[in-house]
Amino acid sequence: MLNRFKPIALALFTFSLGGCIFIVNPQEGPVTENPSVGRKFPQFPKHTPAFKQILYVDSTQGTDTPSAGERETQPFRTIAYALTQSSPGTVLQLAPGEYKEETGETFPLKIKPGVTLRGNERQQGQGVAIIGGGDYLSPTWGKQKVTLLPGDRTEIAGVTVTNPHQSGTGIWVESTNPRIRNSTATKSGREGIFVTGTGTPLIENNHILENGGNGISLTHEAGGEIRANLIENTGFGLAIGGNSNPLVVNNQIMNNIDGLVISHFSRPILRDNAISNNSRDGLVAIGESQPDLGTEIVSGKNTFENNHRYDIHNTAQAPILRVVGNQLDDSRVIGAEIQVR
């Protein structure tokens, strides 16, 4: 059935700066950018090599000396110092506690290629808190406040990340391919996770909540996978723009202002997600974006339920938005040209 509706105004604010277009969410901060280059298909991160050593870190019991770190009973004190002693394949095992400036940390913490930062995976980082942010000069976005900056083939597992700065980002992925899993990104001033450049992370089984701006933002040529996360109680659960085209599968996106905002020329693939109870719209498509919500060959299998205004709100200028094999109420779909099957 082909549904045609007259577009209505969308409560998003845009402005231009230096030839780029920014989207500002209802709370704060830039979330996506519109580059002029073409689309790139998703690439997926390589696995971290088998570790060569474990280095132990404990913010209350440790000491930052060259003789420490190799035994759990004699740990390093700071992640920052442990990183100077690490090499590809190293696992930094964090004891419960808070890792912040007051305990000696220097932010952002730049995780070397092939290094794993590991805390409490069973409880998604409960009790292992990395709190703080420092200046990072992004090649694509300029000066930022960042907590963790993962390199290629790194893993972040079982930690809680918070950047309390007003414009702070918890984990900033810039043209690298880390794996971020079994962790919590919460109460950062802007995003929990920001992916830019040609970043292709695997973001899997995390709890992302109560960030001041967005849960996860992707821009430029970002790809990778966003899989099996719970994203809730934030501005936009997912903000996907630029030419980014991640695979977004099996996530719960709920109780945000908008569940997903898809903008510019982005082409995300959305499968098996539950998008519910967002206070405005479940999914918003704007600009020339073309979210893939199912095809004649592969059904979308996304579930839209109890979003306050619309399940899908399409104002994109692209060709007909096809919505195939999803669970939603046709009467809660509005926009330019949408085909629901």
Q: Quick one: pLDDT at residue 8?
A: 36
User: Hey, what are 71's tokens?
Assistant: 């035994």
Q: Quick one: pLDDT at residue 35?
A: 35
pLDDT digits (tens, 9 = 90+) for 202-237: 999 999 999 999 999 999 999 999 999 999 999 999
Confidence check: pLDDT of 115 > 50 = yes
Short-list 337, 303, 262, CA closest to 31: 262
Q: What is the mean pLDDT of residues 62-90?
A: 97
| DSSP-assigned beta bridge partners for residue 55 | 92
| DSSP-assigned beta bridge partners for residue 192 | none
Confidence check: pLDDT of 160 > 60 = yes
Q: Quick one: pLDDT at residue 31?
A: 41
Residue 140, phi-psi category: left (phi > 0), alpha (psi -120 to 50), beta (remainder): alpha
Confidence check: pLDDT of 249 > 50 = yes
* Mean per-residue pLDDT over the chain, rounded: 87
Please count the other Cβ atoms lying within 10 Å of the Cβ belonging to residue 11. Answer: 11
Q: Which of 18-27, 52-61, 296-305, 306-315 has the lowest mean pLDDT?
A: 18-27
Residue type, 156: I
Sequence-distant (≥ 6) Cβ neighbours of residue 217 within 8 angstroms: 31, 32, 191, 193, 194, 195, 236, 238, 239, 240, 241
Q: What is the spatial distance between Cα 141 and Cα 30, in angstroms, rounded to a whole number? A: 10
User: Hey, what are 190's tokens?
Assistant: 């802007």
Confidence check: pLDDT of 41 > 70 = no
Q: What is the spatial distance between Cα 182 and Cα 124, in angstroms, rounded to a whole number? A: 5
Sequence-distant (≥ 6) Cβ neighbours of residue 200 within 8 angstroms: 42, 43, 44, 45, 177, 222, 223, 224
Phi, psi of 205 (to 5 degrees): 60, 45
Please count the other Cβ atoms lying within 10 Å of the Cβ belonging to residue 7. Answer: 14
Q: Quick one: pLDDT at residue 320?
A: 80
Q: Quick one: pLDDT at residue 218?
A: 98
Q: Quick one: pLDDT at residue 36?
A: 32
Q: Quick one: pLDDT at residue 50?
A: 59
Q: What is the mean pLDDT of residues 34-52?
A: 46
pTM reported for the whole predicted model: 0.87
Q: Which of 27-31, 158-162, 272-276 has the lowest mean pLDDT?
A: 27-31
What sign has the CA pseudo-torsion 29, 139, 231, 103? negative
User: Hey, what are 277's tokens?
Assistant: 């109870």
Burial tier of 228 (Cβ tally within 10 Å: 0-12, 13-18, 19+): middle
Residue 52 vs residue 192, higher pLDDT:
192
Count Cβ neighbours within 10 Å for each residue of 83-114 and write b for 16 or more, e otherwise.
Answer: bebbebebbbbbbebbbbeebbbebbbbbbbb
Q: What is the spatial distance between Cα 76 and Cα 149, in angstroms, rounded to a whole number? A: 20
Q: Quick one: pLDDT at residue 318?
A: 66
| DSSP-assigned beta bridge partners for residue 174 | 196
Q: Quick one: pLDDT at residue 51?
A: 56
Short-list 97, 109, 188, CA closest to 156: 109
SS3 label, residue 27: coil
Max Cα distance, the chain (Å):
70
Residues of the chain with pLDDT > 70, as a percent, come to 83
Q: How would DSSP label each residue in 8-20?
A: ---S-EEEEETTE
Q: Which domains does the chain have, with CATH numbers?
A: 17-47+129-340 (2.160.20)
Q: Quick one: pLDDT at residue 316?
A: 85
Short-list 289, 279, 293, 280, CA closest to 322: 293
pLDDT class of 49 with cuts at 50, 70, 90: low
